[in-house]
């Protein structure tokens, strides 16, 4: 009997230790959205709807970086268990707009190392919000090589040692100097990015570099239009799915597959050589082009539901598309699995309204329910579908949640409106863990022109002359705020109040090791965690 009690006690102890260990498992955030699919979700049981109200600011760190136009710091990425001369640490990494890279100790916010990139070239034009001549691409971490990859302003790709910042790969030219690149992605020793706006003379497209051999490199490029436009400016950059394909939306531009023009479309390419495999183009692509309702503004996400590989996203038009990743638009390339009615932007504005950022996807481990979350700027459309739960008026913006369900007739995946969050002052893309959704209200001023819309001007040159300056864009801004919401209902659980000091433009959150990380335009990095929680 005593032996049984001893074994019972040991068994309970093992179970308890296992449960504690499960909650203490270190979690990386190696890329924008947390993974190559840009899911925006992570398995971190530190947070729950019950304890999220106990969040607090753990530290904020000012780094030496000069903002360029609207750019300041990239969205953070995080690596745990990095062996440094100061011991094993979790490090937070951000790239500065002015070519200095920072590694920060996640424990206390102290800067562990920096690396400044030298450039032998200068930009031809002054910076402005479309072409800031700045670092723009969120870096990506390759833990198998203990390297973090980043693009400098001169378009060269660097691979830096996680612990010291010493270059271990490159620099090799990946994109033209001062081109505008978007968040890096990585798969099987290859780094991917996309570009837009024709900055630095770049022809917008997808770029890839094989980085397995530090002494040489192999690059591939895919350009999908003969003239201008069709920029691939999704916030999260390109998306990589489990079927080993790469996906990206394209902006306004000609659509004529016979000659290789794929404006206002979702594209699928091969990973190895970037060959175009498939595409989906909405039937109203002419209107999307005419009204400048770019598809990339809302980004895309890849995920699975049962045996189905899915892609979801949308743009300024503010309709959410659900696509079969293996046949994006069906046989005619124009048929989605599902599409919503307009969610916002009833007056078809070019800015301030619509779907902006990047979607996130989260699955409830208990109920197996799957949700997709999209960021909306401005008020909800009068034609929006009916949501089961709302949380008050949302004049400035919100997060909208949809359940992934099965159509009763076709049994294909479909979208069911679930909830609308409380009002957020121009939200950034959300991230999710264990039933808690985190989103940043950016507080920025999104107005781009003195008179809104290219159609009001006689020429693009006249339009460009009427763009607001960076100083004007900085007027009327508010400090960013971190929100925590119940991922199943949208109910407000926490907001950070005055913890952050300035606004932020086109950024994103990182969620790792029981902390949430954010940046602002004043080149500050912030860490939020639960009260009493030690890193």
The pLDDT tens digits of the residues spanning 236-283 come to 999 999 999 999 999 999 899 998 899 999 999 999 999 999 999 999
Within-domain flag for 83: yes
Question: What is the reported pLDDT for 17?
Answer: 37
Looking at the DSSP bridge assignments, the partners of residue 427 are 441
Place of tokens 């001369």: 85
Total structural domains in the chain? Answer: 1
Phi, psi of 297 (to 5 degrees): -60, -30
Question: What is the reported pLDDT for 455?
Answer: 53
DSSP conformation class of 75: P
Question: Half-sphere exposure of residue 153, counting CA atoms within 13 Å on the CB side?
Answer: 25
Of 126, 186, 177, 187, which Cα lies nearest the Cα of 152?
177
CB 183 within 8 A of CB 196: no
First to last CA, the chain: 42
3-state secondary structure 470-486: HHHHHCCCCCCEEEEEE
Name the residue range of residue 194's domain.
37-443+478-530
Burial per residue of 242-281, b for 16 or more beta-carbon CB atoms within 10 angstroms, e otherwise = eeebbbbbbbbbbbeeeeebbbbbbbbbebeebeeebbbb
CB 308 within 8 A of CB 283: no
What is the Cα–Cα distance from 82 to 256, expressed in whole angstroms? 49
Question: What is the reported pLDDT for 456?
Answer: 56
CB 504 within 8 A of CB 444: yes
Within-domain flag for 337: yes
Within-domain flag for 102: yes
Question: What is the reported pLDDT for 187?
Answer: 96
What is the Cα–Cα distance from 360 to 431, expressed in whole angstroms? 6
Phi, psi of 506 (to 5 degrees): 45, 60
CB 112 within 8 A of CB 101: no
Place of tokens 């500065």: 96
Provide the residue-wise pLDDT of the chain in tens; the chain has 535 residues: 333 343 334 344 433 333 333 344 568 999 999 999 999 999 999 999 999 999 999 999 999 999 999 999 999 999 999 999 999 999 999 999 999 999 999 999 999 999 999 988 988 887 788 899 999 999 999 999 999 999 999 999 999 999 999 999 999 999 999 999 999 999 999 999 999 999 998 988 999 999 999 998 999 999 876 666 789 999 999 999 999 999 999 999 989 999 889 999 999 999 999 999 999 999 999 999 989 899 999 999 999 999 999 999 999 999 999 999 999 999 999 999 999 999 999 998 877 899 999 999 999 999 999 999 999 999 999 999 999 999 999 999 999 999 999 999 989 999 999 999 999 999 999 999 999 999 999 999 887 766 655 555 666 677 667 777 777 777 889 999 999 999 999 999 999 999 999 999 999 999 999 999 999 999 999 999 999 887 6
Structure tokens at 462: 């006249």
3-state secondary structure 310-353: EEEECCCCCCCEEEECCECCCCCCCCCCEECCCCECCCCCCCCC
Question: What is the reported pLDDT for 203?
Answer: 87
**Can the peptide bond before residue 57 be classed as cis, meaning omega within 30 degrees of 0?**
no
Q: Would you say the pTM of this structure is higher than 0.85?
A: yes
3-class state of residue 289 by DSSP: helix
CB 184 within 8 A of CB 137: yes
Question: Half-sphere exposure of residue 419, counting CA atoms within 13 Å on the CB side?
Answer: 17
Within-domain flag for 454: no
Structure tokens at 420: 């609308």
Within-domain flag for 79: yes
Within-domain flag for 88: yes
CB 383 within 8 A of CB 342: yes
Of 73, 34, 41, 39, which Cα lies nearest the Cα of 526?
73
Within-domain flag for 48: yes
How wide is the angle at C-alpha 280 spanned by C-alphas 276 and 284, nearest 5°?
Answer: 135
Within-domain flag for 6: no
Residues near 473 by beta carbon (within 8 Å), at least 6 away in sequence: 70, 129, 444, 445, 447, 448
For residue 119, the domain's CATH number is: 2.140.10.10
Question: What is the reported pLDDT for 288?
Answer: 94
Structure tokens at 138: 């969120």
């Amino acid at each position: 009997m005593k032996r049984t009690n001893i074994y019972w006690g040991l068994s309970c102890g093992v179970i308890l230790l296992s449960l504690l260990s499960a909650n203490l498992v270190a979690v990386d955030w190696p890329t924008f959205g947390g993974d190559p699919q840009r899911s925006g979700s992570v398995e971190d049981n530190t947070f729950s709807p019950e304890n999220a109200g106990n969040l607090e600011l753990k530290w904020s760190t000012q780094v030496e970086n000069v903002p360029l136009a609207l750019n300041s710091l990239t969205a953070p990425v995080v690596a745990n268990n990095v062996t440094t001369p100061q011991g094993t640490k979790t490090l937070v990494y951000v790239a500065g707009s002015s070519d200095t890279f920072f590694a920060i100790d996640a424990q206390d916010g102290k800067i562990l190392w920096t690396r400044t990139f030298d450039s032998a070239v200068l930009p031809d034009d002054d910076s402005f919000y479309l072409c800031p001549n700045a670092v723009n691409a969120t870096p990506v971490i390759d833990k198998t090589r203990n390297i973090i990859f980043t693009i400098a302003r001169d378009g060269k790709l660097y691979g830096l040692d996680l612990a010291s910042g010493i270059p271990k790969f490159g620099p090799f030219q990946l994109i033209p100097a001062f081109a505008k690149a978007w968040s890096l992605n990585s798969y099987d020793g290859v780094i991917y990015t996309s570009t837009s706006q024709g900055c630095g003379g770049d022809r917008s497209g997808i770029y890839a570099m094989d980085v397995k051999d530090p002494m040489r490199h192999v690059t591939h490029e895919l350009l999908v239009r003969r003239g201008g436009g069709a920029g691939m400016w999704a916030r999260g950059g390109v998306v990589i799915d489990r079927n080993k394909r790469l996906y990206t939306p394209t902006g306004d531009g000609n659509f004529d597959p016979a000659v290789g023009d794929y404006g206002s479309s979702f594209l699928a390419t091969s990973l190895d050589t970037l060959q175009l495999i498939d595409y989906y183009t909405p039937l109203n692509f002419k209107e999307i082009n005419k009204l400048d309702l770019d598809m990339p503004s809302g980004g895309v996400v890849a995920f699975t539901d049962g045996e189905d590989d899915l892609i979801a996203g949308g743009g300024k038009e503010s309709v959410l598309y659900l696509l079969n990743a293996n046949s994006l638009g069906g046989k005619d390339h124009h048929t989605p699995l599902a599409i919503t009615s307009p969610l916002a932007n009833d007056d078809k504005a070019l800015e301030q309204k619509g779907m902006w950022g990047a979607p996130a996807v989260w699955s409830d481990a208990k109920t197996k329910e799957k949700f997709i979350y999209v960021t909306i700027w401005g008020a909800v459309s009068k034609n929006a579908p009916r949501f089961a739960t709302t949380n008050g008026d949302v004049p400035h913006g919100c997060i909208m949640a949809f359940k992934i369900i099965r159509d009763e007739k076709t049994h294909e995946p479909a979208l069911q409106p679930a909830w609308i969050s409380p009002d957020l002052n121009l939200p950034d893309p959300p991230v999710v863990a264990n039933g808690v959704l985190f989103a940043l209200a950016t507080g920025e001023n999104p107005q781009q022109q003195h008179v809104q819309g290219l159609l009001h001007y006689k020429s693009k040159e006249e339009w460009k002359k009427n763009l607001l300056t960076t100083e004007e864009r900085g007027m009327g801004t508010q400090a960013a705020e971190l929100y925590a919401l119940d991922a199943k209902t949208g109910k407000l659980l926490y907001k950070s109040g005055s913890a952050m000091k300035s606004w932020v433009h086109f950024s994103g959150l990182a969620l790792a090791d029981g902390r949430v990380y954010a940046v602002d335009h004043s080149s500050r990095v912030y860490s939020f965690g639960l009260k009493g929680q030690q890193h």
